[in-house]
Structure 1
Amino acid sequence: MYYIVEKEILETRISRIENIVYGVNNMTSAEDISLDIFSLINFIEVEINKLVKESEILKKMLYLFDTYSFLLDEKFSSFKVYDALQSEKNQMVFSNMSLYNTVASQMLSIKELPIPNSDVYLQVAANIYQLHIMFMSIESVETQLNFLSRRIAKILELWYEIGIDIVNDCFLEWDGRINNLNSKIQKFYTLNI
């Protein structure tokens, strides 16, 4: 949630800066910006300083560019287009800002992964056949267990039915005896009265 809000704020501010630098008039802010170049530069500087204060990514980027300023030099050989303006390079950096956090975390996670010993791969390759046999035996045991569980369920169901039938027979027999005894007691009681 916080990342989305921060991303929207950064996108809004960067779009304002791009609109000011390139002269496009579709700004989201209702601020009145002077056409004076000096005030435009001051405004851009203020906005960038605000961005830097609120974003750790930008702080790290600016530290990186301060430390390795030759990365943005025109003579640096990794840039294919030598006539690219500084503003275009900055636009490229700012437009891909959302990727820096993702790439940095991925690079850190790759760095933290231990590289296993090469013997581990050889041992795994040597044991693939045994692993395959083990998986097949596990599958066979699972099939047998499924069959046994179905048989046990059927046996328990039969025991339940037999138990119910026996209990019902017992209750019927007891009811019959009690009714017989009640009828004898009533006969005896009617004869004695």
Structure 2
Amino acid sequence: MQSSIDSETLALQTLSSLSARLARIEHALVGTPALTPQNTSTPLSLHAAKINHRDHSIRARLSALEAALTRLANHSKPVHDLLSLHAAYPEIFIDVLPAIQLPPSGGLSIEEKAAVVLSSAPGVQSVTSQLVSLRDLPVPDVDTSVKLVGLQPRLDKLVVMQEMQAREMADLRRRSLKVLERWYEVGVEGVNECFAEWDERVAKCERVVRRMAAENGEEGEGE
């Protein structure tokens, strides 16, 4: 009796799962659930899961699912073509590839496992020796630890001082850049402009001297 109840429960759960899958397929293909010819306000997926209250047998639910699938095929051409293909060539829907049987323990034989263990043995010994050396390290003196903890306020002050010095150095860099720009404008460009002005004045003086020398030469020849 218990076995019969378990079988019926399993069958009902399977039918419920099939009904849910049919509803998802219907939503993916149609967009909105299609309507049955008997009731234009109830979707196919609900008709697939709805059973008359007088007949709760598994056969009735299976018949309802088949009827819902038929109605969905009438409303959806892809489903109709897929069912026709399944009826004509059922072998293409069967997985003919055999299940790959992997050997236990990741497919390694005993010899391969032994080789892996032997190759990793030096590393295990090295890690073990390092752990032992860490265990043998002496614990620092309590007084030293207390002194280090007592230095923390001074370290905090030094950090603040370092930040202040960094800001001051940044300000000095900006001021130095401004001084350098001013020196370039006055000391370099100003001197260049001064020399250019002197060259121009010297050139004018040379022209005046040459003109006066030429005039004096002409007067001497006339006398």
**Normalising by structure 2, what TM-score?**
0.40
TM-score, length-scaled by structure 1 = 0.45
Specify which structure has the bigger relative contact order, considering alpha-carbon pairs within 8 angstroms and separated by 6 or more residues.
Answer: 1
Q: Which has the larger radius of gyration?
A: 2
